[in-house]
């Protein structure tokens, strides 16, 4: 039996109704106005957590808060604006944080396979939003995370990362841009980041736990681009059809994130994926046979580069 199979046995049967009471926990979920982020925020709030929905659009964020409060009466939620494509916005979010701590940061927001564009700071948008924005946000919130008794950071990657060719010389589309390759590279960067964060926390003797997750193919706005899409009508119609046929319902896709966010004794450095065929569907399991998890050399190089590009230095 492989290690993964053993892990699969260990976690089988887990479902969100097993989430323990989250009262007293202060959570931030990025990209919480739609898809996996919305379900994550809603289920954390349902269990009593105070959840900050960190969204780039005031209107979409406000609608999400209203919907969530209607679905979970008495939910403790609030909206805070955050645009990961703009480091000024990321800094403003962290500097405007008024509570003493953050117990849980769910780095969920992302864009996928978008046409070429650059962020406000000049980064290729998938690398810039999915990785650099997330890297900067986590670093700037680190003092607040370290003020929590049991801080946890959950970063949403994708099993698509397994197909990434991690070309350090083209991370920022210096030479060429192909949307799908840039996406899976940014998701590999998410995995390197989550694992390197754990290594650094361990080396510093901190209680912080960092995990990565892959949701599996999930119905959401991620391929259609939601309200902000620059894609054509035909593309969006075809993608919607594909989502209906091949992708599973959004709550199923949020399972790995909720698992990593709430299972009390889950070790830092875990990578949680769905256990079905090709890890695309099924219950959350820990995937340990993943080269990227152990590739501390590339993860270190990416970390140093990310500090240079964002100007955010970690307090560890």
Ligand X SMILES: NC(=O)c1ccc[n+]([C@@H]2O[C@H](COP(=O)([O-])OP(=O)(O)OC[C@H]3O[C@@H](n4cnc5c(N)ncnc54)[C@H](OP(=O)(O)O)[C@@H]3O)[C@@H](O)[C@H]2O)c1
Put residue 113 in one of left, alpha, beta given phi > 0 → left and psi -120 to 50 → alpha: left
Residue from 7, 26, 27, 36 in contact with ligand X (CB under 6 A) = 36
Q: How far apart are CA 156 and CA 130, in angstroms?
A: 9
Among residues 114, 100, 45, the alpha carbon closest in space to that of 261 is found at 45
Q: How far apart are CA 242 and CA 272, in angstroms?
A: 25
User: Is 56 one of the binding residues for ligand X (CB under 6 A)?
Assistant: yes
Piece in contact with ligand X (CB under 6 A), picked from 29-37, 66-74, 264-272, 302-310: 29-37
Beta strands in the chain (DSSP E): 26-30, 50-55, 76-81, 104-107, 152-156, 209-213, 271-274, 284-286
The residue sitting closest to ligand X, measured at its beta carbon, is 35
Is 192 in the active site? no
CB of 104 to ligand X, least distance (A): 16
Piece in contact with ligand X (CB under 6 A), picked from 19-27, 77-85, 95-103, 200-208: 77-85
CB of 108 to ligand X, least distance (A): 5
User: Is 33 one of the binding residues for ligand X (CB under 6 A)?
Assistant: yes
User: Is 22 one of the binding residues for ligand X (CB under 6 A)?
Assistant: no
Residue 213's DSSP bridge partners are 156, 272
Nearer residue to ligand X within complex by CB, 227 or 315: 227
Residue from 87, 111, 148, 292 in contact with ligand X (CB under 6 A) = 111
**Selected catalytic residue, list 38, 177, 183, 192:** 183
User: Is 256 one of the binding residues for ligand X (CB under 6 A)?
Assistant: no
x-or-dash pattern for ligand X, window 123-142, by CB under 6 A?
Answer: ------x-------------
Residue from 16, 26, 35, 148 in contact with ligand X (CB under 6 A) = 35
- Long-range pairs, 114-121, Cβ under 8 A, ≥24: 114/179, 114/225, 114/230, 115/179, 115/230, 115/231, 116/173, 116/177, 116/179, 117/230, 119/85, 119/86, 120/85, 120/86, 120/87, 120/88, 121/86, 121/87
Piece in contact with ligand X (CB under 6 A), picked from 11-19, 65-73, 220-228, 298-306: 220-228
Put residue 285 in one of left, alpha, beta given phi > 0 → left and psi -120 to 50 → alpha: beta
Q: In the structure encoding, which two tokens stand for residue 119, read together? A: 């962020």
Output Rg (C-alpha) for the chain, integer angstroms.
Answer: 18
Cβ atoms of 31 and 37 within 8 Å: the answer is yes
x-or-dash pattern for ligand X, window 154-193, by CB under 6 A?
Answer: --x-x-----------------------------------
Piece in contact with ligand X (CB under 6 A), picked from 95-103, 212-220, 267-275, 300-308: 212-220
The 3-state DSSP class for residue 302 equals: helix
Q: Give the interface with ligand X as residue ranges (CB under 6 A).
A: 30-31, 33-37, 55-57, 60, 82-85, 108-112, 129, 156, 158, 214-215, 217-218, 220-222, 226, 228, 247, 253
Active site residues: 183
């Amino acid at each position: 039996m492989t290690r993964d199979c053993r892990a699969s046995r260990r976690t089988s049967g887990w479902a969100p109704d097993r989430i323990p009471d989250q009262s007293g926990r202060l959570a931030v979920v990025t990209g919480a106005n739609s898809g996996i982020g919305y379900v994550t925020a809603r289920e954390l709030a349902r269990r009593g957590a105070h959840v900050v929905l960190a969204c780039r659009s005031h209107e979409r964020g406000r609608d999400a808060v209203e919907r969530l409060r209607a679905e979970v009466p008495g939910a403790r939620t609030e909206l805070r604006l955050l645009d990961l494509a703009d480091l000024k916005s990321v800094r403003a979010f962290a500097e405007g944080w008024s509570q003493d701590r953050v117990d849980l940061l769910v780095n969920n927001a992302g864009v996928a396979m978008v046409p070429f564009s650059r962020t406000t700071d000049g980064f290729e948008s998938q690398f810039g939003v999915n990785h650099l924005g997330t890297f900067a946000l986590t670093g700037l919130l680190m003092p607040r995370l370290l003020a929590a008794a049991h801080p946890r950071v959950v970063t949403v990657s994708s099993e698509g990362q397994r197909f990434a060719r991690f070309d350090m010389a083209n991370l920022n589309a210096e030479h060429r841009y192909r949307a799908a390759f840039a996406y899976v590279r940014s998701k590999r960067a998410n995995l390197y980041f989550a694992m390197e964060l754990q290594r650094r926390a361990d080396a510093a003797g901190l209680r912080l736990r960092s995990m990565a997750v892959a949701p599996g193919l999930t119905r959401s706005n991620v391929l259609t681009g939601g309200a902000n899409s620059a894609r054509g009508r035909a593309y969006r119609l075809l993608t919607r059809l594909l989502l209906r046929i091949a992708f599973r319902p959004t709550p199923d896709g949020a399972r790995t994130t909720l698992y990593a966010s709430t299972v009390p004794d889950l070790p830092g450095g875990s990578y949680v994926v769905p256990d079905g065929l090709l890890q695309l569907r099924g219950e959350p399991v820990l995937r340990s046979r993943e080269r990227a998890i152990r590739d501390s050399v590339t993860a270190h190089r990416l970390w140093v580069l990310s500090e240079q590009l964002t100007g955010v230095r970690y307090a560890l």
